[in-house]
Amino acid sequence: MIPSDFSEDDNFPRPCKIKISYDDILQKITGKKEEEAIVSEGIPFMIFLGTIFSSYPEIELKYPPGALGFTVNGQPPDDFEILEDGDEVFFTVGSGLNGLNNYHHG
């Protein structure tokens, strides 16, 4: 039960929407060209990436370390980049686009 004096404050992360797009190869696994995720404000990119692998375990199983590329708002993210409301994340197999980061999991 929520206390009657409960109010939103800075102790609770706010939700933020992230747009996720997949290349043609990953669309065969996800069944989607794009989707929207609602995550907690301030989520690091690497934690977000883990949620993608949890939702679509075949991606991590099928593609070895270094086989995936991705951008956040068109730029390669660093491991500790914090995602913000409205960010757009693009996932691809390989690094066919210049500047795509490759993820080395393992």
Which residue range forms the structural domain that includes residue 97? 15-103
34-52 pLDDT, tens digit each: 999 999 999 999 999 999 9
- In the chain, the N- to C-terminal Cα span, in Å, equals 42
Query: Sign of dihedral through CA atoms 69, 103, 49, 13?
Result: negative
- Which CATH number do you get for residue 27? 3.10.20.30
Residue 89: is its pLDDT beyond 90?
yes
In a domain, 81, yes or no: yes
pTM exceeds 0.85 for this model: no
User: Which residue is listed with tokens 């708002």?
Assistant: 73
Domain count, the chain: 1
pLDDT (0 to 100) of residue 78: 85
CB 102 within 8 A of CB 71: no
| Banded pLDDT at 10 (limits 50, 70, 90) | low
DSSP β-bridge partners for residue 82: 44
